[in-house]
Amino acid sequence: MLDPAPVNRLFAADALLPTGWARNVLLAWNPEGQLTAVTPDSVRPEGVPEVDGPVMPGLPNLHSHAFQRAFAGLTEFRSEQADSFWSWRTQMYHFARRLKPEQLEAIATWLYIEMLEAGYTAVCEFHYVHHDPDGRPYADDATLSLCLLRAARTAGIGLTLLPVLYQTAGFGGTPPADGQRRFIRGTDNMLRLLERLKPLCDAQGARLGLAPHSLRAVPPDALREALAGLHALDATAPVHIHIAEQTAEVDACLAWSGQRPVEWLLNHAPVDERWCLVHATHLSTQEIARAAASGAVAGICPSTEANLGDGFFDMPAWQSAGGRWGLGSDSHATVNAAEELMLLEYSQRLQTRQRNVLATAPQRHTATAMTLAAVAGGAQASGRAVAGLAVGQQADWVVLDARHLALAGLGAADRLSAHVFASHRTSAVQTVWVAGRPRVTAGRHGQHEAAAQAFVAARSQLLNEATE
Ligand SMILES: [Zn+2]
């Protein structure tokens, strides 16, 4: 018997389009996995399958350090009288020091499968461990980048690979510390890596960009030269940077330059729609207005920012300035798109003593408004056509389980609200499609079991080495 023709059309009674919830939507896509028609108020054509729950766009995860997934949950004890981001970083460096290529690949493969099962369909990997444990380049200098490309391919998640430029330990050219030796690259060396990776990324539909780690890790000349080199390679490539995550970083930047980090960046770099300002937690009123006007995306990582005690991002001010934003899971203490949305809204409620802070005039349902904003911002930061259920975008979506107890019997917008705010850590993600192919069915990825075992083995190896 011949194989049945591959599915390239689906019918959904409820689907979240960029304009809001629509009824009776017919989705069609081409063999490349790109949506060719999104038609509301349709009649289901004979033979076209109907999904049995509401369809929402897949969320791009705009900030990930994959290896940190194996470290999640291992720093939840007091190591100093006043534990902070900086004491956490010391422990993280200790962990990163031992990581081997095959361990990174196992950890990243499992992480990307977890992301798919949690409703993310794309990821931006901010990749800064480049060299061997002694700080020497591997025989193939791209070894660890290739592990990440393979992990994304195995899992079937969309990828934006952002090799990280890291040169100094602090503002003013402080030499790197021993724990940072695996991260360090000269600017020319970084540009050669990008040239090597570009065709490999193109071949698997991944996007290549660049991540100057932070202003404390990249001196001004290196930033300028690296951006010029990237521009020559791909004039629209994404640029991501950690900025203003910690008040100590803001103080150090002021002491060095007399300017706050975002202020300095806006004064010295061509910040525009290609840029993602990751964290951007501590901004002045003036920085908010200028950064929002630049068109850059604010990369907010609610679970990590809470876990590390970073502080609150001022969402009402950012949104009223017209700022764009998206979500990242960063250190992966949490890998759950719905939970990140909930944490972000709750952080704003606690700050403002109001409810439904991130609802908008056209989208009064908070979860709907946040999902649409995070998909648009995440797609922009990814530099890929993953901006939701619209013609020309990649066929990426999530079908929620209409029979999940939290969702059963509700209307579409309330189902998404229940998924985000009231599913009690039991996910309602049922099916996840990437580029027109189902990667997760009945809540599970096809390689869940094998990848989970490889992850646990890699983590155990790393921890056993730590105690030797
Ligand atoms: Zn980060």
| pLDDT on residue 466 | 62
DSSP 138: P
Nearest alpha carbon to residue 214 among 253, 158, 272: 253
What DSSP string runs through 386-398? -SSSSTTSB--EE
- The CA–CA distances, whole Å, from 316 to 13, 150, 356, 366 equal 33, 39, 11, 13
What DSSP string runs through 167-219? --SBTTTBPPPGGGTTT---HHHHHHHHHHHHHHHHHTT-EE-BEE--TTTS-
Query: What six digits make up the tokens of 167?
Result: 């040169």
314 is catalytic: no
Among 14, 310, 330, 401, the active-site one is 330
From the CA of 301, how far away is ligand 1's center (Å)?
9
**Environment of ion ligand 1 (residues, CB < 5 A):** 330
From the CA of 242, how far away is ligand 1's center (Å)?
6
330 is catalytic: yes
From the CA of 328, how far away is ligand 1's center (Å)?
9
Give the pTM: 0.96
State the alpha helices, DSSP H only, in 212-324. Answer: 220-233, 247-257, 261-268, 285-294, 302-307, 315-320
From the CA of 139, how far away is ligand 1's center (Å)?
27
| pLDDT on residue 424 | 80
Nearest alpha carbon to residue 210 among 232, 226, 188: 226
Q: What is the pLDDT along the chain (468 residues), one digit of tens a residue?
A: 444 556 799 999 999 999 999 999 999 999 999 999 999 999 999 999 999 999 999 999 999 999 999 988 888 888 777 777 777 787 777 778 889 999 999 999 999 999 999 999 999 999 999 999 999 999 999 999 999 999 999 999 999 999 999 999 999 999 999 889 999 999 999 999 999 999 999 999 999 999 999 999 999 999 999 999 999 999 999 999 999 988 999 999 999 999 999 999 999 999 999 999 999 999 999 999 999 999 999 999 999 999 988 889 999 999 999 999 999 999 999 999 999 999 999 999 999 999 999 999 999 999 999 999 999 999 999 999 999 999 999 999 999 999 999 999 999 999 999 999 998 878 999 999 999 999 999 999 999 999 999 999 999 998 887 655
Cα torsion angle, 446, 449, 453, 459, sign: positive
From the CA of 5, how far away is ligand 1's center (Å)?
43
From the CA of 270, how far away is ligand 1's center (Å)?
21
* Residues near 185 by beta carbon (within 8 Å), at least 6 away in sequence: 130, 165, 166, 167, 193
From the CA of 402, how far away is ligand 1's center (Å)?
35
From the CA of 13, how far away is ligand 1's center (Å)?
38
| pLDDT on residue 1 | 45
CA atoms within 13 A on the CB side of 234: 18
For residues 121 and 436, give the distance between their C-alpha atoms in angstroms, rounded to a whole number.
11
| pLDDT on residue 84 | 76
Q: How many beta carbons lie within 10 A of that of residue 444, not counting itself?
A: 13
User: SS3 for 19-69, per residue?
Assistant: CEEEEEEEEEECCCCEEEEEECCCCCCCCCCECCCCEEECEEEEEECHHHH
For residues 16 and 376, give the distance between their C-alpha atoms in angstroms, rounded to a whole number.
13
Among 65, 130, 279, 404, the active-site one is 279
Question: Using N-to-C axis directions, what is the helix angle for 101-117 and 143-155, rounded to 10°?
Answer: 30
From the CA of 379, how far away is ligand 1's center (Å)?
18
| pLDDT on residue 44 | 97
Question: Edge-to-edge strands of the sheet including 20-29?
Answer: 35-39, 20-29, 9-17, 55-57, 397-400, 429-434, 437-441, 444-445
Nearest alpha carbon to residue 457 among 71, 91, 103, 154: 103
